[in-house]
Structures are given as C-alpha cells and as structure tokens.
C-alpha cells in the first residue's frame, strides 16, 4: 500500500500514514480537538497546508469559504491524505511536546493519567495501564501565564494577593484536560500522577510560595502530595488518588525527578547528564551512586525573550539556519517571510557568525556595526549576541560546577540527554560550536519531553523509583560555588 509522510508544524513531527488515511484519525492522537464532531461547522480543526496537496470536495470548499478562510486552509475533519503533506496545526500555535516514547513497564490494570505541569505548557496523557498505550492527549497553555512568563513573576503574583485565583486556575485547567480525555474514552481512572517544577507543585497544592522569593529560598513543602479529586474541584472519580510527585529542591522539581527516571541515569554505572531547556534550565549529572542537580537562569533567551527579534517557534519564525557555500540559508516555519528567530535558530546564527568570523571570541561584532543581518529583515544586534552568551554560559557553567561537585572529569560523562520543548529542535553540532555544551557531539542526544515520560513511568511504578532517586540526589546552588563568577564569565567566551 502507498505510504505518505505528514509533517506537523510547529510540532516538528513527521509521521508515515497509509494512502487515503483520514486526517481526523492522525491528528486525534496529537490532541487536536474536533468540537463539532466532524460536521465542518466549527472550523476548530482547521489546518494550513504548507506543502503538498489535499483534494477538496465542493462541500469542503464551501465550508472553508463560510468560515472566511483562505484557499490554503483545510478542515482536518474533511481531509484525507493522498500525498506527502506539510501542515501547520492551528490548535498548536504554541509549542507543546506530547511525548509518545516507549519505556519499560510492568503491565497493570485500569487507566491512568500522567500530567506534565509546566511553567508555560500543560500536557496530559490518558494511559491504558495494561499496555502503556496512549489513548488520548490534551495540551494547554498554563492559564497562570497571565501572571508572567517566568517563575519569579509567578511567585511575585502569589505574594501580590492572587494566590487563590492561581490555585483555582491550575486545578481547573488540569481537571478540564482530564475530563476532555474521559469524554473520548469513557473509562474509570485508577490514578493520576502529576510532575512539575517546585513552584508549580506548591501552587497546585495551595502551599505558600513566598519563601521561594528570596534567599535562602527554602521551603518545607517539597514532599509528595496526594489529593482527593473532589477536593480539587474535579467531578470525576479516581479510584486510588491524585499524586503530585515530590520536588528535589527549591528550584528543581518533580519534572526533573521524572526526567531522571526517564533517562534511567540513576540505574547506570556510567555518569549521565540531563539538560532540560525549558522556561527554567535545569541540569542533572549522576549515576547509580550519586546525583547532583541545579537550576540555571538560561531559559528566557531561548524562548525569544530579551532577543530583539526573538519569538517562539510559530509561523514566521526562523527555525534553523544552515551555511551553504558561505551563504546563510534559513528554514522558516510555514515557509513564509521570516518575521523573527526562535531559540534553535539563535544557536545556529551565533555558530554560523562565529564560523564566518563575523563575531569574535568575546561575542563582539567584528565590523563594529551595532547589528548583523541574518536573512531578509531579520537581524541580530550586539545586545542579542550578549544575551545569548549569558544563556549559554549559564548552561556551560552549570555543567562545569556540577562536574566539579562530583569530583569527576568531564570525559567521565558518558551520555548527555537534552530534554524540553526547544531542546528537540536544536542542531547539536552548533550547540557544541558555541561552547554551550563542551562535550563530544556524539555523546549528546535529544530526548523530548522527559518529564512526561517519567510521569508515565511513575503511573506504573508508584513511589519506588522516585524514592530511590531522591535518596542519592543533592541539590546544588550554583551561585553558592566560590568559583561561580570566574567560571560563568569564562564560559561567556566562544571557543576559538
């Protein structure tokens, strides 16, 4: 049978399907919703055809016209796959990773839900505990985003009297996601496991986060929290309970605990590192005997914040740059005119400008101009390059300090996993070229949403692995290291 490739933007996923496969079957797996049930009346399942062909019937064309959409739009519920196609999914106009990786598990009974409660995005999966099959996915922007993008502004909002609203918002958002999945699959839930960073855990649990606002950044509420769904305002039953897994430290949460489980670094003889490049950048290094972890302030630049033409990975963002015969060639999400640059391409840009010797080892633009044109109207300013240096130095310094804490040589780290939304799209060679990760590229692997993989593993394994990991894990405050400043500033330089 003929096969076709479907590429999904901005998810960056590629999948193979049989000829004539209805798009509704494919996209359903990715959490795309079909509110009107495929009647073509609501238009919510609209997708933009960026490449290839989808044939339309007169009815389909009429619906598109009635919804006021352009000729490049299709309704997924009316479409079948008859060629290789590239789609931009309207419902995914923010970047969310819904993981489908395989993992080892001991089959159980019933159904469970795993939730990755991120600072920016929420992902929930309904899992069949007998097969570990993902039955449904829901993704959503964290509704607390209105209180600010980063953790410190959330903590500030909490202290400014928004505590109740923040707790209700997040509890109700996750309840809604689970309810939507249960609508598609009417099953009785056995349990729900949630992972997230410490601040997200405390807010969900209605625990005070104000102690995380300033030094010594201490909280006594790191432990596992169990809830009765009724107490969370959820109107569906959970046979066992809802568990928010324990945090490791004040700024390293159960999302990283889950990441450690997902990489199984706590079971390995050799040292392994995990770098989560989310809104907050966390780093873990360890093996079966000892694990150290820390958080860094690396995130915002990679999400487009503080970069003059920075943006998230949405239509119009340059997603990658390549050097072809000394010319910079850009890939733009949606194949449109580039409007800005997202985190993955920012790394490419700096690596390429270094290679072309347009940027010096201190990050200076060699021509002395205040900015460099990347492609079209997209520019990088001197300040943007400096912002990137701060971010990449935070990661590199974190890796160095944690390696020192373990009293091991960098070469003793066998493998490095990169997790997190933006981590899936980066060019590893360029990451190494900028000095962000000073290791052999062959050791570095992308691993997707390790928090969600770990949360799923916790559904099967209960507390065992989490307790095992916590027993050997130390949380390090990078800035408390007496050599932090020297190392951090040193890592702002580019390798020669």
Partner 1 sequence: MEELLEKLLEAVEFGKVDKKSPYPPQLRDMDGAHELTIRAIETGIKPQKILEEALIPAMERVGKKFAECKIFVPQMLMSARAMGSSMFQLKPYFASGAIKTKGTFIIGTVKGDLHDIGKNLVSMMVEGGGWSIVDLGVDVGADKFVEALKNNPGAVIGLSALLTTTMVNMGEIVANIREQAPETKILIGGAPVNDDFCQKIGADFYAPDPQKAVEYLNRIAS
Site map (CB under 8 A) of partner 1, residues 145-164, x = contact: -------xx-xx--x-----
Site string for partner 1, 334-363 (x = CB under 8 A): ----------------------------xx
Beta-bridge partner residues of 444: 416
DSSP assignment string, 227-279: E-GGGGT--S-BSS-EEEPPPSBTTB-HHHHHHHHHHTGGG-SSEEEEEEESS
- Does the footprint of partner 1 cover residue 382 (CB under 8 A)? yes
Burial tier of 305 (Cβ tally within 10 Å: 0-12, 13-18, 19+): middle
Exposure on the CB side of residue 414, measured as CA atoms within 13 A: 9
Closer residue to partner 1 in complex, CB, 183/215? 215
Compute the distance between CA of residue 348 and CA of residue 329 in angstroms, rounded to an integer: 11
Out of 19, 59, 489, 495, the residue judged to bind partner 1 by CB under 8 A: 489
- CA dist 125 and 450 (Å) reads 14
Q: How far is the CB of 445 from partner 1 (least distance, A)?
A: 30
The smaller minimum CB distance to partner 1, of residues 153 and 404, is found at 153
Site string for partner 1, 227-266 (x = CB under 8 A): ----------------------------------------
Sheet of 327-332, strands arranged across? 327-332, 317-324, 340-341
Of 3-11, 209-217, 448-456, 463-471, the window that binds partner 1 (rule: CB under 8 A) is 209-217
Instruction: Give the shortest CB-156-to-partner 1 separation in angstroms.
Output: 5
Provide the token pair at 222: 């790191």
Residue from the set 102, 106, 161, 214 that interacts with partner 1 by CB under 8 A? 214
**Is residue 82 close enough to count as binding partner 1 by CB under 8 A?**
no
Which string of DSSP letters, residue by residue, matches 105-134?
A: ----SSEEEEEEE-SSEEEEEEEETTTTEE
Here's the x/- map for partner 1, 383-402, by CB under 8 A: it reads as x--x--xx------------
| DSSP SS3 for 95 | coil
**Nearer to partner 1 by C-beta: 214 or 220?**
214
- Residue 152 neighbours by CB distance under 10 Å: 15
CB of 297 to partner 1, least distance (A): 9
DSSP 295: E
User: Residue from 68, 161, 368, 482 that binds partner 1 (CB under 8 A)?
Assistant: 368
Strand, helix or coil at 488? helix
Q: Which is nearer to partner 1, 322 or 366 (CB)?
A: 366
Chain residues 449-488 in contact with partner 1, contact rule CB under 8 A: 477, 479-480, 485, 488
Nearest CB to partner 1, comparing residues 90 and 490: 490
Q: Does 294 bind partner 1 (CB under 8 A)?
A: no
Based on the shown chain and the rule CB under 8 A, indicate whether residue 215 belongs to the binding site for partner 1.
Answer: yes
Asked whether position 492 contacts partner 1 by CB under 8 A, the answer is: yes
**What distance in Å separates the CA atoms of residue 258 and residue 264, rounded to the nearest whole number?**
10
CA atoms 158, 160, 163, 166: torsion sign: negative
Which one of residues 51, 370, 429, 464 is an interface residue with partner 1 (CB under 8 A)? Answer: 370
CB of 494 to partner 1, least distance (A): 10
Rounded to the nearest 5°, which phi and psi values hold at 332? -115, 130
Does 70 bind partner 1 (CB under 8 A)? Our answer is no
Burial grade of 379 (CB within 10 A; 0-12, 13-18, 19 or more): middle
- Enumerate the β-bridge partners of residue 359: 365
Measured from the CB atom, is 155 or 352 closer to partner 1? 155
The minimum distance between CB 204 and partner 1, in angstroms, equals 20
**CB of 124 within 8 A of CB of 253?**
no
Contact residues toward partner 1 (CB under 8 A) are: 152-153, 155-156, 159, 213-215, 362-364, 368, 370, 381-383, 386, 389-390, 477, 479-480, 485, 488-490, 492-493
């Amino acid at each position: 049978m003929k096969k076709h490739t479907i590429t999904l933007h901005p998810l960056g996923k590629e999948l193979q399907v049989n000829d004539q496969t209805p798009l509704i079957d494919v996209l359903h797996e990715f959490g795309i919703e079909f509110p009107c049930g495929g009647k073509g009346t609501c238009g919510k399942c609209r997708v933009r055809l960026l490449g290839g062909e989808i044939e339309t019937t007169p009815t389909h064309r009429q619906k598109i016209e009635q919804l006021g959409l352009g000729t490049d739009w299709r309704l997924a519920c009316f479409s079948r796959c008859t060629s290789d196609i590239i789609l931009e999914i309207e419902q995914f106009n923010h970047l969310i990773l819904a993981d489908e990786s395989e993992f080892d598990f001991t089959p159980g009974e019933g159904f469970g839900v795993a939730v990755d409660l991120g600072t920016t995005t929420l992902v929930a999966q309904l899992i069949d505990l007998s097969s570990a099959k993902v039955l449904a996915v829901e993704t959503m922007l964290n509704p607390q985003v209105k209180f600010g993008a980063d953790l410190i502004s959330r903590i500030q909002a909490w202290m400014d009297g928004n505590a109740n609203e923040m707790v209700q918002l997040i509890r109700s958002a996750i309840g809604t996601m689970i309810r939507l999945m249960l609508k598609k699959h009417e099953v009785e839930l056995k349990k729900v496991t949630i992972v997230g960073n410490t601040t997200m855990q405390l807010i969900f649990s209605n625990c005070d986060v104000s102690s995380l606002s300033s030094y010594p950044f201490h909280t006594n509420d790191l432990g596992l929290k169990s809830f009765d769904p009724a107490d969370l305002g959820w109107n569906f039953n959970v046979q066992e309970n809802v568990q928010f897994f324990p945090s490791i430290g004040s700024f390293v949460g159960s999302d990283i605990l889950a990441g450690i489980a997902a990489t199984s670094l706590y079971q390995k003889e050799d040292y392994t590192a995990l770098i989560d490049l989310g809104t907050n950048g966390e780093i873990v290094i360890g093996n079966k005997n000892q694990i150290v972890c820390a958080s860094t302030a690396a995130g915002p630049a990679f999400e487009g914040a503080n970069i003059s033409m920075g943006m998230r990975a949405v239509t119009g963002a340059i997603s990658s740059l390549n050097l072809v015969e000394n010319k910079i060639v850009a890939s733009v999400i949606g194949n449109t005119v580039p409007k800005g640059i997202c985190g993955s391409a920012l790394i490419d840009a700096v690596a390429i400008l270094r290679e072309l010797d347009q940027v010096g080892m201190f990050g200076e633009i060699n021509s002395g101009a205040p900015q460099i044109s990347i492609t079209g109207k997209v520019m990088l300013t001197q300040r943007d390059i400096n912002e990137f240096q701060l971010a990449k130095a935070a990661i590199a310094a974190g890796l160095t300090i944690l390696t020192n804490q373990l009293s091991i040589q960098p070469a003793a780290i066998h493998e490095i996993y990169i997790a997190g939304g933006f981590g899936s799209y980066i060019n590893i060679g360029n990451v190494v070229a900028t000095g962000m990760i000073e290791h052999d590229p062959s050791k570095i692997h992308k691993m997707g949403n390790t928090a969600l993989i770990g949360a799923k593993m916790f559904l099967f394994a209960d507390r065992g692995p989490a307790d095992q990991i916590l027993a050997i894990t130390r949380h390090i405050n990078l800035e408390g290291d007496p050599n932090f400043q020297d190392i951090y500033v040193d890592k702002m330089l580019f390798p020669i």
